[in-house]
Structure 1
Amino acid sequence: MKEKTMKKLSQAIVLAGAMTAGLTAVQTAQAEISASVDIASMYLWRGQDLGLDKGTAVVSGALDYSHESGLYAGVWTSSGDSSLGNETDFYAGFAGAVGDFGYDLGYVTYIYSETAADEFDDAAEFYLGLSYSMVGITFYVPSDSDADGLYTVLGVDIPDTSFSVALGNYSDIDDEYTHLDVSYAYNDSVGFTVSKIVDEANEDSYDKSMRYVVSYSLPIEM
């Protein structure tokens, strides 16, 4: 679900039209299988454009299974970013709600094409999402005990509008940056996101230019 430009960690986590995922816990009414195909104008993940050629479009697809108990699992695959190649993510978790309080606990692994094997090791994270009413926060922690890095995203759905705002922060021993995303859902299929890195520990380590993403999601009848 790399919350990368389209990471869709089940309905609970990974795509902000540019990836502001993880704001609301999944609520399932019955066991079901769902699928979708998504197109975005940029591979935006945690405030960064992952395309080698900036603004490279990405096509992705997801297949999800959810059970009324709150258990869910799925696979998300995309044309990938220009430097790491095609990507496939597998994820599973448990989500639910008690009144206005929602929760989501799960695990996701990111697998890249063989062409990228020498450049980047496959990665995995545990995540915990908590939400109350229109506010949600999700924490992502590497599953490898030797790996550094914590990513936290705080999101708010603005009442009576189709707008949402997300503030994400990545930090490890040697690096830290914060990004701000503002998203607008035109309808159930079309979304727009504006994203900008607003702060960083190491000056000039990241491109702070404004990023604009348009995304389109097409549900597939199962």
Structure 2
Amino acid sequence: MLKKSLLASSVAAVLSLGVMPAMAEEVAVVEIEEEAEGPNYVSATVGVSNLYLWRGLNLSDGKGSGSIYGSLDWSHDLGFYAGVWGASGDGSLGTEYDLYGGYTFETGDFFADIMFANYVYPEQDDEPFGDNTGSDVIVTLGFAGVEGSYTKRIAGGGYDDAYLTLGYSYAQFGATLGYQHFADYEGDGEDANYTHLDVNYAFNDNLTFTVSKVVDRNSDAGTLADVAPDATLFVVAYDMAFDL
């Protein structure tokens, strides 16, 4: 029996499913156990959620729209992987698809991963994504249920930002604390940051419930209070994984 870990987003990867949307960064780790022949594996995911959750924020832009998302992933026994993830539901940037690849290493209860992700918004031509794309590098380390990650923008449009997470999972329960930093948030030399807490409960392999809340922010950073409000977000996501 072979156990493989696929980092799929929501890109927004990894990209965290605070809920699946958002590979656009948070790293979602999908574990699949299967009898397999050969070193290469191909799988797919498809899912739906009541809103687009990304780093503690509701990207549905308060419009109450849900999100449909899916991915196609390839991985190798040596630890290399690549994939594409797409989603609807972003109220500001529109449809999104993400291309990503990386390497993951596992031994016992420890794992390490490095991922490169490119986010593309075909409908977006304006700032902050003037060239409608951006690229991040994501480094993740985990041991015995504890997991931490660091994400840094390395190319393309968007803010010069960094994102850190620290989380713990046990059985069906999990909690993640995330810290988002924007450099020169509004072009006036002022930085902005906020911290959010996500608490997850996996009812089964497909159905996940998440409560997310921004718990701290530097309130003097222009419109950050509008971007990262105090409202508590409740997210329900249903997704399925398939071996191809």
Task: Sort the TM-score into its range (normalised by shorter chain).
Answer: 0.7 to 0.9
Offset at residue 51 of structure 1 (A): 1.1
Q: CA–CA distance in 2 between the matches of 1:200 and 1:207? A: 9
Offset at residue 14 of structure 1 (A): 3.6
Confirm or deny: 8 A CA contact 2:82 2:100 kept in the other structure.
Answer: yes
Aligned position for 2:17: 15
Aligned position for 1:162: 172
Q: CA distance change for structure 1 residues 164 and 134 in 2, over 3 Å: closer, same or farther?
A: same
Check if 1:217 corresponds to 2:239: yes
Confirm or deny: 8 A CA contact 2:12 2:54 kept in the other structure.
Answer: no
Confirm or deny: 8 A CA contact 1:26 1:96 kept in the other structure.
Answer: no
Aligned position for 1:66: 75
TM-score for both structures, normalised by structure 2: 0.79
Q: Which amino acid aligns with 1:201?
A: N
Offset at residue 53 of structure 1 (A): 3.3
Aligned position for 1:118: 126
Confirm or deny: 8 A CA contact 1:52 1:81 kept in the other structure.
Answer: yes
**Corresponding residue pairs, total:** 214
Aligned position for 1:176: 193
Aligned position for 2:187: none
3-state SS, counterpart of residue 149 of structure 1: strand
3-state SS, counterpart of residue 176 of structure 1: strand
Offset at residue 98 of structure 1 (A): 2.2
Offset at residue 22 of structure 1 (A): 3.5
Q: CA–CA distance in 1 between the matches of 2:162 and 2:215? A: 18
Offset at residue 43 of structure 1 (A): 0.3
Confirm or deny: 8 A CA contact 1:139 1:152 kept in the other structure.
Answer: yes
Aligned-CA RMSD value: 2.6
Aligned position for 2:186: none
Q: CA–CA distance in 2 between the matches of 1:169 and 1:148? A: 14
Q: Which amino acid aligns with 1:38?
A: G
Q: CA–CA distance in 1 between the matches of 2:30 and 2:205? A: 18
- Larger Rg over CA atoms: 2
Q: Which amino acid aligns with 1:156?
A: Y
Q: CA distance change for structure 1 residues 218 and 8 in 2, over 3 Å: closer, same or farther?
A: farther
Offset at residue 150 of structure 1 (A): 1.0
Offset at residue 118 of structure 1 (A): 1.8
Q: Which amino acid aligns with 1:94?
A: Y
Q: CA–CA distance in 2 between the matches of 1:211 and 1:35? A: 27
Q: CA–CA distance in 2 between the matches of 1:96 and 1:26? A: 14
Q: CA–CA distance in 2 between the matches of 1:212 and 1:52? A: 14
Q: CA–CA distance in 2 between the matches of 1:65 and 1:96? A: 16
Q: Which amino acid aligns with 2:212?
A: S
1:81 to 87, 90, 107: 90
Percent of residue pairs identical:
34
Equivalent positions of 1:10-49 (< 5 A) are 13-17=15-19, 21-22=26-27, 30-49=39-58
Confirm or deny: 8 A CA contact 1:62 1:74 kept in the other structure.
Answer: yes
**Higher RCO (C-alpha 8 Å, min separation 6):** 1
Confirm or deny: 8 A CA contact 1:25 1:97 kept in the other structure.
Answer: no
Moved over 3 A (4+): 6-9, 18-30
3-state SS, counterpart of residue 116 of structure 1: coil
C-alpha offsets along residues 40-81 of structure 1, whole Å, 9 cap, x if unaligned?
Answer: 101010000011234320001100001000000000011140
3-state SS, counterpart of residue 108 of structure 1: strand
Q: CA–CA distance in 2 between the matches of 1:47 and 1:111? A: 21
Offset at residue 8 of structure 1 (A): 6.1
Q: CA distance change for structure 1 residues 47 and 95 in 2, over 3 Å: closer, same or farther?
A: same
Check if 1:200 corresponds to 2:217: yes
C-alpha offsets along residues 161-196 of structure 1, whole Å, 9 cap, x if unaligned?
Answer: 311000000113310100000000000000000000
TM-score for both structures, normalised by structure 1: 0.86
